[in-house]
Amino acid sequence: MKNPFRTLRSKLGITRKEMSDLLNVNYNLLNQLENNLTDKIFPCVKQALSQELDLDIEELTAEWNSYKAFKQKEVKKKIS
């Protein structure tokens, strides 16, 4: 399971800074989103990601939620 933000950056071959400029969002916000430190994708970011990844909003949300669940399981394994 891959993070949708990292997938897009990899697909485009750009850095986090370039991605934040492209999406017109704060670099720190993008960093938090990429590291799954927030539960919510802001609407402007969600719209840009859905366009760039050629997914509709529902598909993108499902992929993001799947990634979050995967990461949560991974963290629980490390704690156990």
pTM summary value: 0.52
Q: Say how many domains are in the chain.
A: 1
pLDDT in tens, 11-57: 788 888 888 887 787 888 877 777 665 566 677 777 877 887 788 88
Residue type, position 28, single letter: N
How many other CB atoms are there within 10 angstroms of residue 42's CB atom?
13
Q: In this structure, how many other beta carbons lie within 10 angstroms of the beta carbon of residue 33? A: 23
Q: In CATH, what number is assigned to the domain containing residue 56?
A: 1.10.260.40
3-class secondary-structure state, position 23: helix
Query: In the structure encoding, which two tokens stand for residue 50, read together?
Result: 């859905």
Give the range of the structural domain holding residue 65, as residue numbers without chain letter.
4-79
